[in-house]
Amino acid sequence: MAGFLDQLEPLKQAALAELAAAPDLAALEQARVGYLGSNGKFTALMKQLGALPKEEKPAAGKAVNTAKVELEAALARRRGELELKAALPQEPTDFTLPGRRRPLGKLHPLTQVTEDIVRSFRKIGFAVADGPEVEDDYHCFDALNTPADHPARDTQDTFYLQPPASSLQPPYLLRTHTSSVQIRVMAKQQPPVRIIVPGRVYRRDNADATHNPTFHQVEGLYVDRNVTVGDLKGTVEFVFKELMGEETRIRFRPHYFSYTEPSFEIDFSSALTRKMGKEWLEIAGCGMVHPQVLENVGYDPEVWTGWAFGFGIERIAMIRYGINDIRLFYENDLRFLRQF
């Protein structure tokens, strides 16, 4: 037994030294196989245990096991150190290098134009109002004096939502214009009313360079005592000059809308329209709020008068930036969006 134990201690020391000195994981594995593998030196020593006299076996076995636990602990420790070393960056970090810039996002061109429009109207005392995109036909059509046989109510133009089979409610629809919010606001408050309503609208149109099934509008509504077409014209002129430049001119042409009387279409003329090869471009609809609409919301048309208008935000943005296809706004192509 003395011979056996004499071999054990130096072998263990040699193994510990080799494990601790292994410069990388491959060398460590090589050292492990050399001592603890099935043909390793330490394994070979353990095999000699069986040849010892019976009374020596317990003490020798205990000594071998203790040594083995020690070797395995040393192996695990060194493996941890080498794994950490392997995971660290190979090159030292240069803290004097310039930082990496995070690419900053920006507002969508339609959002920018909408904010400009809102800012102009705020200057003259208008507040922003909001309403649901899923509407009923009362707010979208009936209350706006749009008779049931009006072409705007044709299913060609309006997305209707399928009510549940069990429902007794009228069908809902996706609003075709922001004019529905006129009704919602007036039904809730007494005059004076001075609001604009930017928002998304929906129509059953096929997408092409100038149409998209969803687009954006701004509605305006002003109701007070003694409001005139002059107020309407002055307001529209102020806002379009702000949006399209000081030398912008506007003109009103008679038109028909069921919720205004008289009704007009607004054309404008500026350096931008001339760049597009036209002197006048049609830009908005407007008029004096129809007495029937005032009655529908419980306002006395003998006391109150008002005007309203509506126009498309995409159209403004396209003219302003010289964009020739409305679909570009919705494709989310960064090469397009980064330009604004």
Binding site for ligand DAH (CB under 6 A): 177, 179, 219, 257, 259-260, 285-287, 308-310
Residue nearer to ligand DAH on the CB measure, 260 or 296 = 260
Least Å from the CB of residue 102 to ligand DAH:
41
Using the minimum distance from each CB to ligand DAH, give the nearer residue, 240 or 257: 257
Of 146, 208, 221, 220, residue with least CA distance to 176: 146
Read off the tokens for 209: 């360079």
214 CA to centre of own chain: 17
Between 29 and 282, name the residue whose CB sits nearer to ligand DAH: 282
Rank residues 79 and 255 by Cβ distance to ligand DAH and give the closer one.
255
Taking the least distance from each CB to ligand DAH, the nearer of 15 and 183 is: 183
Min CB(177)–ligand DAH separation in Å: 3
CB of 274 to ligand DAH, least distance (A): 25
Q: How far is the CB of 285 from ligand DAH (least distance, A)?
A: 3
Quote the least distance from Cβ 259 to ligand DAH, whole Å: 6
Q: Which of 120, 259, 257 is nearest to 198 (CA)?
A: 120
Q: How far is the CB of 321 from ligand DAH (least distance, A)?
A: 22
Cβ 287 vs Cβ 228: under 8 Å: no
- In the complex with ligand DAH, the residue whose CB is nearer, 42 or 202, is 202
How far apart are CB 149 and ligand DAH at their closest, in Å?
Answer: 18
Smaller CB distance to ligand DAH: residue 191 or 285?
Answer: 285
Other Cβ atoms closer than 10 A to 226: 8
